[in-house]
Amino acid sequence: MEELETVLAEADLPLTADGSPVFHQSRHSIPTFSRCLHAPEGTESLDYDMHESPQTLRFLSEQAAALKMKSCCLRLLGRGGIRWIVVCVAGLGTGLVASAINVSLMGLAELRRLLLSKAIESSAGVVAPYLVFLAFSLACASVAGALVCFVEPLAAGSGIPEIKSFLNGVNVPRVLRPLTLVAKGVGVIFSVAAGLPCGKEGPMIHCGAIMGALASYAFSGPLLRPISIDREQRDLVAAGAAAGVAAAFGAPVGGVLFAIEEGASHMSVDIMLKTFVCSAVSALVVHFFTGGFDGQTWGLFGAEVPLPFGHLPDLAFHIWELPTFAFMGLVGGLAGAFWNALNLRLSRWRMRYIGVRTCRRFLEVLVLTTLIVSLKFFVPVLVTGNLDYVVGTDLQTYYWDGEDEAVDVIFHRDFISPSSLLIAGTVQFVISVVTYGMGVPSGLFVPMLYLGALWGRLFGEGLLMIGMVDSHEHVAKYAVVGAVAALAGTARISISLSVIMLECIDNNSFGAPLFLATMIAKWVGSIFNPGIYDIHLELKHVPLLEPRAQKEMLSMRVQDVMAKDVVSLCPVETVRRVLEVLEDSERLHHGFPVVDEASGRFLGLIQRRMLLHLLRSGRERSIFQERLGPAEEQNTPKPVPNWLSNSELATQATGRFKMSELQSALGPQDLDRCVNLLPYTNQGAYTIPAHARVMRCYALFRSMGLRHLPVVDEQSKLCGMITRKDLILAPAHEKKWFGGQDDDAESSDQESESEDEETDAAS
């Protein structure tokens, strides 16, 4: 607050153009955040702003004219109608993918059960069944592991962090391509079938998001390309992710809320409607297949379709039980934070010694699978003392069958012995910590729900013993609350999780205990560390913008955090200079302010993509002009600009040019010619005054989904640029909980370096 005082003391003095005091000028000497923050290579911000250059507007009007000429159907529907169809297609695709995963899993589980029972029948000892069990698991795990370690490393884990970062405005490369869909979709079948504590739900959400992204290619052609394709893609990815949740749990409402809660902060009513439709279609498709394969009449829906964790419509609770549920939330939060801390340590160790795309990672998968499967096999055998006491009992479900079935049993079985819950809970805690981050596709939802259900049920049994609960019937609710508390404690989702669970058990009147437990688990956990998804994003150095600006940003000014070494262009530039700017690999910018040469006034923002288009097609379209002397310039009337064609512009979505291709397209005589950039420049770009507070800048940047925000002084002279990294690196964002670790030593070095540089900058 002292800082604020200093700022205030001078706040009323008009600012000089450059001589203004610099408070937080630091850490902005490194040009792109991808290197600065060690983000995965190629990580890019997304740009949801509307680029209203005359060229774009012309594109849109030509497009409208072309659409009028088209066949009746396309004209009648328009882009709006096609959007609805595309949304339905994305939902349908997600539902089909999810159903395929479900059906394959059912097949593999049946196969394993068969093999195991044969092995048990044919031999008396424990060894043969164990070997069958292990071999099956290893075979499955090696498929899943190979897909991750040698095909697509991004298929590892749940994929939710990556989707979260995409919705936040950061595109990690390869996350949304079809190969990732294949690796993830196939991989998760085998990782779950291997008997590892992996959920299929997270990967299904990732698959849904990819389906959404693929569906957005419907808009990539010149006829349907909207003013911002990034925005179209973002909305469809959000809808696809929601559809993934809907497919995984049969929970369309929970899916939409999940999309909102996990980053789709751009949610408008219109997008929400589309997201709903997408989710509903996806849930319907999944229910269709679930119902069909489960022996129901095909095509029957509603209350007769089986649910992931079984129906639980009759839960009741008393008002004085609410503190108990709150206590469960508290414990869930503490346990979740502990789980996160353990997993963080393990993930750090993995990053250092195992790597991402290595044989060591594959080996880790095999070794861990062996250990986990052995544990899962022998614990029930050792507990009962005999293999025969395991087969066909609940113990088999807890350890050998799928986790969804185990949750179902824990929710519905009247009597379960506390000791078996205790042992299973301990085992599940250990193996779930170890598995998340391993080189296989692995969701977190069901393993954590199972873990929580075990402990919650144990707690309920305890209450039953001391007489606080009447009968076994009432113990189920503690398992339900425990399940969501454990997941909320690690993943820090609250509302959407509660609603998903309500939809999972087909019950609406049990909301209050779930809300309470998840909210408290989330709060308590957040005291100690961020959610597991955020931890993994931090580990990957993905630069997320939090939904709200930090309080400290009120005391900082934009000029204190902006990048000052901005590469700008003049309204009329030589082709050589444009090429140089694009080739500058040191400072790979994606947007360039266009600035009046004489006065330094900001005129607009031109995108890298547009410059590439200009260079590629400039000669053909006679966009390049001979340079004129100042006298001639006065006399010659301004030429009408030449435009790029719609099909040329539409190529930008599908691929990028290579620099070499560009250079060959340009002749040596072209390099000295000029190009008038103004017709291709977004002249309406938002700007922010240099003396405005960072908080205001943050709100503008995030609400409007910007990628570049030019900073201007009072004469509307360009004086800097705000990008995502500047907001992330604003000092208030120092992640204190992360400090003191080796991994961040580097960044604190940077800090001191840049403090040294402060004097340079001030001079």
Nearer to a second copy by Cβ, of 154 and 449: the residue is 449
Question: Restricting to residues 51-110, which ones interact with a second copy according to CB under 8 A?
Answer: 52, 54, 57-58, 60-61, 64-65
231 near a second copy (CB under 8 A): no
Q: Which of 122, 386, 508, 748 binds a second copy (CB under 8 A)?
A: 508
Q: Is the dihedral of CA 378, 379, 382, 388 positive or negative?
A: negative
b/e map of 26-59 (b: 16 or more CB within 10 Å)? bbbbbbbbbebbbbbeebbbbbbbebbbebbebb
Least distance (Å) between residue 186 CB and a second copy: 28
Q: Which stretch binds a second copy (CB under 8 A): 119-127, 174-182, 300-308, 655-663?
A: 300-308
Footprint on residues 303-362 left by a second copy (CB under 8 A): 303-305, 307, 313-320
205 or 517, CB closer to a second copy?
517
Q: Fill in the DSSP letter of residue 643.
A: -
Which residue from 691, 731, 738, 757 is in contact with a second copy, where contact means CB under 8 A? 691
Of 273-281, 442-450, 653-661, 732-740, the segment contacting a second copy by CB under 8 A is 273-281
Q: Is 674 helix (H, G, I), strand (E, B) or coil?
A: strand
> Token match 């195991």: residue?
116
Q: Burial-class residue 524 by CB neighbours within 10 Å (0-12, 13-18, 19+).
A: buried
Q: Which residues of 71-110 are buried (b: 16+ CB within 10 A; e: fewer)?
A: eeebeeeebeebbeebbbbbbbbbbbbbbebbebbeebbe
- Between 3 and 22, how does the x/- string for binding to a second copy read (CB under 8 A)? -xx-xxx-xxxx--------
By CB under 8 A, which span of 246-254, 562-570, 661-669, 737-745 interacts with a second copy?
246-254
Q: Give min distance, CB of 98 to a second copy, in A.
A: 16
Burial class (CB in 10 A: 0-12, 13-18, 19+), 738: middle
Tokens in use for 101? 């995963």
Check binding of 472 to a second copy (CB under 8 A).
Answer: no
Would strands 674-676 and 572-574 be described as parallel, antiparallel, or unpaired?
antiparallel
Which residue's CB is nearer to a second copy, number 188 or number 556? 556
Binding-site size for a second copy (CB under 8 A) equals 105
Whole-number Å distance between alpha carbons of 652 and 56: 13
- Which residue in the set 603, 623, 649, 650 belongs to the binding site for a second copy (CB under 8 A)? 603
- Measured from the CB atom, is 436 or 643 closer to a second copy? 643
156: closest CA among 183, 192, 127, 174?
183
Could you tell me the CA-to-CA distances from 187 to 105, 146, 208, 449 in Å, in that order? Answer: 11, 9, 15, 21
Burial call 171-210: b when 16+ CB within 10 Å, e when fewer: bbeebbeeebbbbbbbbbbbbbbbbbbbbbbbbbbbbbbb
Asked whether position 210 contacts a second copy by CB under 8 A, the answer is no
Residue from 74, 463, 519, 665 in contact with a second copy (CB under 8 A): 519
What string marks each residue from 712 to 751 as x (binds a second copy by CB under 8 A) or -? Answer: x-xxx-----------------------------------
Q: In the bound complex, what is the minimum distance in angstroms from residue 279's beta carbon to a second copy?
A: 9
Residue 471 contacts a second copy per CB under 8 A: no
Amino acid at residue number 534: D
Q: Which of residues 251-270 bind a second copy (CB under 8 A)?
A: 251-253, 256-257, 260-261, 265, 267-270
- For a second copy, the binding residues in 549-578 under the rule CB under 8 A are 554-555
Question: For residues 535 and 760, what is the distance between their CA atoms, to the nearest angstrom?
Answer: 35
Q: Is 224 in the site for a second copy (CB under 8 A)?
A: no
For residues 628-687, which are near a second copy according to CB under 8 A? 638, 640-641, 676, 678-679, 683-684, 686-687
Site for a second copy in 473-502 (CB under 8 A): 494-495, 499, 502
Q: How many CA atoms lie within 13 A of 605 on its CB side?
A: 25
